[in-house]
Chains A and B, each alone.
Chain A
């Protein structure tokens, strides 16, 4: 396995995802002789994992079972050890598309943080592109390097431990795209501009507060960026439920079936019960929004560096 190429079977040294059900999962580093505890019992790596196919059902010691999944940047985002606040896949998706990333792209990123976005960027630019990521926190930078090595993608990324606002990205005139997720992005716009290729490129800045966005937009304009555009993307997840609503008793009883037959005329779901007038309920399938959802992650400001 690697985060940039699928493999069929689980091998020693792989990072695999143990899926327990309903978004309950965790990553595991597969090692000969190693064991992993789950609420369904123990998984022995040598016998239960190594050599098995990704996507297999693995029975644990207490008779319960889990699925073992191939790692992807998206699964990693849901399971990685947080060292900072991270970007989630919804924002990552629009960032990747709006920055026009593809195999071969050269990208600059700061800060590296917990590496959630980094893994997605590396996946997209592989096998011929490269990620230059800058993290001013030494421990975080080292931890990121270690993870990239473990995940078999170190050849696609360079982690630099410095302050992007003061020292830039450590490269110039090479990048197709720059991404900023730092507290004061406006201080890094100049460095971003010089990191981008002479013929142009795309930039994105992620900020939670509108005041940050305003200062960033001004800086972008000052440095000659065009197509400056700020947007926000929100994910709505729906639970699929079968709902039954009671029919009120208006004293009509069963005397008149045709007038209460408003539901039987709707050409809905074959097989699924709709009206059950005997029991006085109507059933239907619905996509129900979660009771509480993420209302704001950050504003995303995109712009283009055009040729001078």
Chain B
């Protein structure tokens, strides 16, 4: 069932472009101009090639598989031993800015430009071997643009989102996401509850690990779940058969037993649909505003249905003379809406039934909301002896959540943690940690559910209950820091 995309790039695939350490998710479509890292090109020629193929952009924006080239540095190497005689006079490069531009305009291969830059650098031969290496690497990066097309995966997409749009995923760093998947024991066959406002990235990661086996109930705030990142994974259709969604605003009524899909008025449902669209938009605007300071050019990671937008605009632009048609259309629309509503209601009922069994195999929370109320309510739906993981960008809300969970009971092995990630440069005689590392990737609170004793759920008398337990026991199980 895991199937997934084939090894070859096909039209309609979700793919990821990679240049050095920069990623961008795209749909593979014919005659569609792609702009990536200040270059534009078409993906047409990439279709049929195996994922992982490296391409070069040629004139006219075509992609051409990169040929493995023999290193041309066969000439006797000459290098200095130190930089005592190298003076920064700004005149070491004999090629001017205009010369380089002319070379580029002539369509000369990046590789040859790099060679010319080396030949016209008066200081190159005096540089140390390491410095020469570094110089070539830097120039190659600039002039020899190689684009690799890779298959989407949690590894690629979470790295991409963290680098490009951290605001949209609440600054959840990829190693933190990796911890969540492991601490949550996510695997095929689980019945998972996921509450996230990370553009659907966490949902996608959970779906990948479950491979289409088992079921997922996504709890969503507002009018509908956001799944922009989920769609970048390119999951096969069957993966969505057991993906359910349930509105957060109905959780309380479900827990108190007053929930009913019949009592749902039609109006809010429709509003919800509209809200879904506008919500998505406004949210996008908000985050991009927030991010302007961090990243000047935030492109959407994926162009999502520009055709649909086109359609709605056309309808709006219609003239009065098409009124009749319009009315007909309206009637059809109403009918369509009714069908949609009926389907939504049916799906809602299914999700409610799944939750009511209160036997979920785990809970994953990663949202912009305060985690405490989410945990206190959603844990009710989880079976005993199952793991749960909460992500928060900040430590303080998790401190409170920890305290409240201890008061509630029904959880053990509570752990507040954070991971640090350090990348290394490994080269002969030049190995060291990379210059920059991420300042923070968020915090996790994890634990395991256990059978909640009756009466203990009422936090007001939990203190009294604690007192009834043998004091030695309390000391061991309650008071020691977990």
Is this pair of chains taken from one and the same complex? Answer: yes
CB distance from B81 to the nearest CB of A (A): 23
Whether B419 and A6, one on each chain, are in contact in the complex, defined by CB atoms closer than 8 angstroms, is no
Q: Which listed residue (A4, A72, A103, A210) contacts B431, Cβ 8 A?
A: A210
Give A55 to B359 CA distance when docked, in angstroms.
12
* Chain B neighbourhood of A236, CB < 8 A: 417-420
Interface check A171, CB cutoff 8 A: no
Interface check A80, CB cutoff 8 A: no
Whether B477 and A97, one on each chain, are in contact in the complex, defined by CB atoms closer than 8 angstroms, is no
How many B residues touch the partner, as a band?
A: 35 or more
Mark A26-70 against chain B: 1 for CB-CB distance below 8 A, else 0: 000000000000000000000000000111110000011101111
Give A94 to B419 CA distance when docked, in angstroms.
11
Interface check A199, CB cutoff 8 A: yes
Q: Which residue of A lies closest to B422 (CB)?
A: A232
Give A241 to B181 CA distance when docked, in angstroms.
27
User: Given that A21-B477, A70-B385, A232-B424 are contacting pairs, would A4 and B154 also be in contact in the complex, using a CB cutoff of 8 Å?
Assistant: no
CB distance from B195 to the nearest CB of A (A): 20
Whether A104 and B211, one on each chain, are in contact in the complex, defined by CB atoms closer than 8 angstroms, is yes
Interface residues of B in 414-444 (CB under 8 A from A): 415-424, 426, 428, 431, 443
Mark A74-94 against chain B: 1 for CB-CB distance below 8 A, else 0: 100000000000000110111
Interface residues of B in 32-69 (CB under 8 A from A): 50-54
Give A68 to B179 CA distance when docked, in angstroms.
24
Whether A6 and B188, one on each chain, are in contact in the complex, defined by CB atoms closer than 8 angstroms, is no
* Chain A neighbourhood of B251, CB < 8 A: none
Whether A231 and B187, one on each chain, are in contact in the complex, defined by CB atoms closer than 8 angstroms, is no
Whether B426 and A301, one on each chain, are in contact in the complex, defined by CB atoms closer than 8 angstroms, is yes
Mark B386-428 against chain A: 1 for CB-CB distance below 8 A, else 0: 1100000001101110110000000011011111111110101
Give A304 to B50 CA distance when docked, in angstroms.
14
User: Given that A241-B481, A299-B424 are contacting pairs, would A123 and B185 also be in contact in the complex, using a CB cutoff of 8 Å?
Assistant: yes
Give A22 to B453 CA distance when docked, in angstroms.
19
Q: Which listed residue (A22, A96, A214, A272) contacts B481, Cβ 8 A?
A: A22
CB distance from A282 to the nearest CB of B (A): 16
Whether B52 and A213, one on each chain, are in contact in the complex, defined by CB atoms closer than 8 angstroms, is no
Whether B383 and A240, one on each chain, are in contact in the complex, defined by CB atoms closer than 8 angstroms, is no
Whether B175 and A94, one on each chain, are in contact in the complex, defined by CB atoms closer than 8 angstroms, is yes
Q: Which listed residue (A92, A103, A214) contacts B213, Cβ 8 A?
A: A103
Interface check A73, CB cutoff 8 A: yes
Give A287 to B414 CA distance when docked, in angstroms.
13
Chain A interface residue count, CB cutoff 8 Å, equals: 73
Whether A102 and B451, one on each chain, are in contact in the complex, defined by CB atoms closer than 8 angstroms, is no
* Chain A neighbourhood of B51, CB < 8 A: 199-200
Whether B426 and A213, one on each chain, are in contact in the complex, defined by CB atoms closer than 8 angstroms, is yes
Whether B185 and A307, one on each chain, are in contact in the complex, defined by CB atoms closer than 8 angstroms, is no
Interface check A18, CB cutoff 8 A: no
Give A277 to B209 CA distance when docked, in angstroms.
53
Whether A103 and B211, one on each chain, are in contact in the complex, defined by CB atoms closer than 8 angstroms, is yes
Interface check A274, CB cutoff 8 A: no
Interface check A230, CB cutoff 8 A: yes
Whether B182 and A74, one on each chain, are in contact in the complex, defined by CB atoms closer than 8 angstroms, is yes
Give A64 to B477 CA distance when docked, in angstroms.
11
Q: Which listed residue (B183, B187, B396, B473) contacts A103, Cβ 8 A?
A: B187
Q: Which listed residue (B178, B383, B480) contacts A94, Cβ 8 A?
A: B178
Interface check A139, CB cutoff 8 A: no
Interface check A229, CB cutoff 8 A: yes
Interface check A23, CB cutoff 8 A: yes
Q: Which listed residue (B210, B403, B482) contacts A23, Cβ 8 A?
A: B482
Interface check A286, CB cutoff 8 A: yes
Interface window among A108-116, A124-132, A186-194, A252-260: A124-132
Whether A285 and B403, one on each chain, are in contact in the complex, defined by CB atoms closer than 8 angstroms, is yes
Give A120 to B183 CA distance when docked, in angstroms.
11
CB distance from A98 to the nearest CB of B (A): 6
Give A228 to B425 CA distance when docked, in angstroms.
10
Q: Which residue of B lies closest to A232 (CB)?
A: B422
Whether B451 and A307, one on each chain, are in contact in the complex, defined by CB atoms closer than 8 angstroms, is no
Give A232 to B424 CA distance when docked, in angstroms.
8
Whether A23 and B419, one on each chain, are in contact in the complex, defined by CB atoms closer than 8 angstroms, is no
Q: Which residue of B lies closest to A94 (CB)?
A: B178
User: Given that A90-B179, A231-B424, A304-B52 are contacting pairs, would A72 and B473 also be in contact in the complex, using a CB cutoff of 8 Å?
Assistant: no
Whether A63 and B451, one on each chain, are in contact in the complex, defined by CB atoms closer than 8 angstroms, is no
Whether B428 and A233, one on each chain, are in contact in the complex, defined by CB atoms closer than 8 angstroms, is no
User: Given that A102-B208, A128-B2 are contacting pairs, would A97 and B178 also be in contact in the complex, using a CB cutoff of 8 Å?
Assistant: yes
Ordered by A's residue number, 17 sampled pairs between the chains whose C-beta atoms are within 8 Å are: A5-B189, A55-B451, A57-B450, A65-B473, A70-B385, A70-B386, A74-B185, A89-B179, A97-B174, A97-B178, A100-B154, A128-B211, A210-B426, A214-B428, A214-B431, A239-B416, A287-B399
- Closest 7 interchain pairs by CB? A55-B384, A103-B211, A55-B385, A104-B2, A54-B385, A93-B182, A97-B178
Sample of 20 more A-B contacts, CB < 8 Å, known A53-B451, A97-B177, A200-B51: A4-B189, A21-B476, A54-B384, A56-B384, A72-B387, A74-B185, A96-B178, A98-B178, A102-B209, A124-B209, A199-B52, A213-B426, A229-B423, A233-B419, A234-B422, A236-B418, A285-B403, A287-B398, A287-B399, A301-B426
